[in-house]
Amino acid sequence: MTLQPAKTPLSERQASILSKVTENGYVTIEALAAQFGVSAQTVRRDIIALSSAGHLQRFHGGAGPVAATEAARLDYPAKKAIGRPEKAAVGSKAAAMIPDGATVYLDVGTTVEACAVALSRRPGFTILTNSMPAAMMFDPAEHRVFVLGNRMAGRDGSLVGEDSTRILGKVTLDVAMIACSAIEDTGRVMDFDIEKIAIKRAAMDVAKSSCLLATLSKFNRTALATIARIEQFDDIVTEAD
């Protein structure tokens, strides 16, 4: 008979960290250190231990849930091909809500790209985005366009990196146009990518208003981690009348 090593019980702080990851979808080392009144190094050790035990995933500067639903994701060409009329309707409606001359964050995703197409037809916007396809919709002679991020995250032209959240923390946005992968029936708006979620949240934090762009196909689905609750958005745009 082979004896299995006993599992090390979680400390009270580790259990609390795991609870917060489950509840919020992503936690930062800085915020946890402030909450528990300990050093960032202490929190980092807890996260390493929890990650080694398979309880969560380590990310640069924080932690998130174990990716159990990653296989449900579609690749970019498939996303582009699905639901084009619905995405175009959402994009047009969302763009019409943005006032002239606004400073706008455009999230990554094919639905937000549809919004960028419609918005680019009107001059005078200041655009901040971590989506290369969205940025390329705008003529720099008619708009001010700032591309966020320092690392390409996928074939969809999305960019991630700490520079994105740092820059967003220094600006004021009129509106943040946010995309998602899923909206649970509990009201949690969710996505698969932890690094992109951090950027979405940073944009929402500095925006005067936040708008969720989602086709009806996103409802009653789930993904890896929470962006926000649906009631935290000022506007929700779907293709429904």
- Considering the chain, what is the average pLDDT of its residues? 89
Can you tell me the mean pLDDT for 198-215? 97
Nearest to 42 by CA among 60, 17, 7: 17
Could you list the beta-strand ranges (E) of 115-191: 126-129, 144-147, 151-152, 159-160, 173-178, 182-183, 188-191
Where in the chain are all domains bearing CATH 1.10.10.10? 12-64
**pLDDT value at position 47?**
93
Architecture of domain 76-237: 3-Layer(aba) Sandwich (3.40)
State the alpha helices, DSSP H only, in the chain: 12-24, 29-36, 40-52, 76-81, 84-96, 110-119, 132-136, 162-168, 194-206
- State which H helix or E strand residue 203 sits in: helix 194-206
Contact of 211 with 175, CB cutoff 8 Å: yes
**What is the per-residue pLDDT across 149-167, written as a single tens digit (0 to 9) for each?**
989 988 889 999 989 999 9
For the domain covering 12-64, report its CATH number: 1.10.10.10
The model's pTM is 0.73
Contacts of 221 (CB under 8 A, 6+ apart): 181, 182, 183, 184, 190
Most confident of 59-73, 90-104, 178-192: 90-104
Nearest to 134 by CA among 164, 177, 175, 165: 177
Where in the chain are all domains bearing CATH 3.40.50.1360? 76-237
Residue 84 burial (CB count, 10 A): 11
For residue 71, the 8-state DSSP code is G
Share of the chain above pLDDT 90, in %: 66
**What is the per-residue pLDDT across 25-76, written as a single tens digit (0 to 9) for each?**
678 888 899 999 999 999 999 999 998 888 888 877 788 776 544 444 566 7
Q: Measured at the alpha carbon of residue 86, what is the angle toward residues 195 and 145, in degrees to the nearest 5?
A: 50
Nearest to 147 by CA among 129, 165, 163: 129
C-alpha 100/C-alpha 102 separation (Å) is: 6
